[in-house]
Structure 1
Amino acid sequence: MIEDTRYQRLQHLIDTEFIDDKLLSLLDCFETKNDDEIRSMVTENADVPTIFEYVLGILWYKASERHGKILDYMKLSLDADLLPKTHAAGGEADIVYEYPETEYYPAHTLLLEATLADNTNQRRMEMEPVSRHLGRHLIRTGNLNSYCVFATTYLDINVIADFRGRKNMPFYDTQDYTKSVQGMKIIPLQTSELKSIVMNRKTYFQLYRLFENAYSSTLLPHEWYRNNIQNYCKKRG
């Protein structure tokens, strides 16, 4: 009953405070690093990276047609108004979204990773943790349908190249070399594409198909993102 009430409050919060236009404005502010405006639009009680995780979670919940327990999936502590306070420490992805089997996709987990780091900082801070979180998850659960989406304001080309390379690279359990996964699916997304997802009302089953097709592509990294992600996110329907 308490959980039902929280989700009723969440629906009202989304309908009144996180309509699509506001999400688009927030994504613009993340891109321009307008931190004061971001806090005024969401909350003064969380840092901007935490707010970015929260906004990504709300955006993905809407794209998922509000299915799933997003309040559990987001690894955040929330205040009484269901607004973010702090990121919960732990060795896993920022958002761990569970999807049951449907006619559009198999049962799987989507690890959503969010960062505002760019350029050299992005390579240093994000490449290893993202692949480690996904690799450990795949080994632990055995569900090789699970994958990761990495969201940021600006993608470094070598981050794209690294994540694409993971498609053909094994990941080992460092405590037991007999346990490994051969290849990982990591899809990088800039906020420019997140805005396209919002504007074009993309639903998750459409995104799943888009990501699966992109993962199978053989284009080189500098061509891959433009042709397999950007162009398709811009398409309506």
Structure 2
Amino acid sequence: MARSKTNPYKTRFNTLIDKKFNDSVLIELLNCFETRDDKRIEELVTDEATIPTIFEYILGIIWYKVSERQGNILDFMKLSLEANLLAKTHAAGGYADIIYEYEACTSYPKHSLLLEATLADGNNQRRMEMEPVSRHLGDYRIRYNNPFDYSLFVSTHLDKNVISDFRYRKIIPYTKDEETITGMKIISIDTDSLKKIIENKVKYKYLYEVFDKYHEMPLETVDWHDGMIKEATGEYKA
């Protein structure tokens, strides 16, 4: 690749992750997000950012590790960071929380993964997240014209109707400025699954194949989401 120079910010960020965010700390943080132990979250990360912003930041770090630290995560995270590279504010704009760009390899084609994070739950989740997640992906797909781009929705709690509605985006057209696409891929996982992915040291190359396998299953497939989660988290391998 052309960009072979070492990025000093990425080097500093890797050092920060090694010192401050090992796997056990990341799992503790996910537990704290689930119980909303905001005080402990601030102790472990920073008290200079909102809890939802810290959730995005921690999700970015987790996914960077799952992706075996490839790419420039500091560009992928749509966050403003402090000088010490800790979270500060969410960068406003009509984009996903994190846009992870992957180069083609033997496990997957070149694609972008739009990571969407939310702490909302229940009916609130449906109202807050359904439209933006679909819109972000639809706009991105139309703009960059890569059918392999998709979204991963991560929450502390998954509403069953949200899982189902995102699933059916597979057959629903999306239109912007006279352009229409059909077949958006939106995968949903909760933080409990994310903890198992960390514990079992599951890597993205494996997750991509699992997500794609279950996305391609017929819409009427029973218990597809439970099966996907069990396989993705390493609880069993089909």
TM-score range, shorter chain: over 0.9
* Residue equivalent to 2:15: 12
**Match for residue 45 of structure 1?**
48
Residue 220 of structure 1, CA deviation: 4.7
Question: Where in structure 2 are the equivalents of 1:186-225 lying within 5 Å?
Answer: 186-218=186-218, 220=220, 223-225=223-225
Q: Counterpart of 1:132 in 2: which secondary structure? A: helix
Q: Is the 8 A contact 2:168 2:219 kept in 1?
A: no
Specify the alignment match of 2:76 in structure 1.
73
How far apart in 1 are the matches of 2:109 and 2:232? 22
Contact 1:139 1:180 in 2 (8 A): yes
After superposition, the Cα gap between the structure-2 partners of 1:116 and 1:223, relative to the gap in structure 1 and judged at 3 Å, is same
Q: Is the 8 A contact 1:214 1:229 kept in 2?
A: no
Residue 150 of structure 1 is matched in structure 2 by: 153
TM-score (norm 2): 0.94
- The Cα of 1:159 is off from its aligned counterpart by 0.2
Counterpart residue type for residue 211 of structure 2: F
* SS in structure 1 of the partner of residue 223 of structure 2: helix
Contact 2:38 2:51 in 1 (8 A): yes
SS at match of 2:233: helix
The letter of the residue matching 2:102 is Y
Shift of 1:2: 10
2:141 is the counterpart of 1:124: no
Distance 1:224 1:117 in 2: 24
Size of the aligned set, in residue pairs, is 234
Aligned to 2:63: 60
Q: Is the 8 A contact 1:157 1:221 kept in 2?
A: no
Query: Per-residue deviation at 1:225?
Result: 1.7
Partner of 2:39: 36
Give the whole-Å Cα distance in 2 for the aligned partners of 1:180 and 1:110.
20
Deviation track 1:144-187 (CA, whole Å, cap 9, x = no partner) reads: 100000000000011001000101111111x32xx111110000
SS at match of 2:57: helix
Query: Quick check: 1:164–1:221 contact (8 Å CA) kept in 2?
Result: no
Q: How many Å separate the matches in 1 of 2:49 and 2:5? A: 25
* Equivalent in the alignment of 1:180: 180
The 3-state SS of whatever aligns with 2:187 is strand
Q: Percent identity among equivalent residues?
A: 51
Asked if structure 2 preserves the Cα contact closer than 8 Å seen for 1:160 and 1:221, the reply is: no
1:80 partner letter: A
Match of 1:165 among 143, 163, 168: 168
Give unmatched runs, 5+ long, in structure 1: none
In structure 2, list runs of 5 or more residues that go unmatched: none
Q: In the TM superposition, what is the alpha-carbon distance from 1:230 to its structure 2 partner?
A: 3.4
C-alpha distance in 1 between matches for 2:203 and 2:231 = 16
The letter for the 2-side match of 1:59 is: I
CA positional deviation for 1:233: 1.2
Cα RMSD, aligned residues only: 1.7
Q: Which runs of 4+ in 1 moved over 3 A?
A: 219-222
Q: Partner amino acid for 1:184?
A: M
Q: Which has the larger helix fraction?
A: 1
TM-score (norm 1): 0.94
- Tell me which amino acid in the other structure corresponds to 1:83: L
Partner secondary structure for residue 82 of structure 1: coil
Pick aligned residue for 1:106 from 90, 109, 113:
109
Relative to structure 1, the CA distance from residue 157 to residue 142 in structure 2 (aligned partners, 3 Å threshold; closer, same or farther) is: same
SS in 1 for 2:39: helix
- Aligned-partner Cα distance in 2 for 1:204–1:227: 18
**Preserved CA contact (<8 Å) 1:166 1:186:** yes
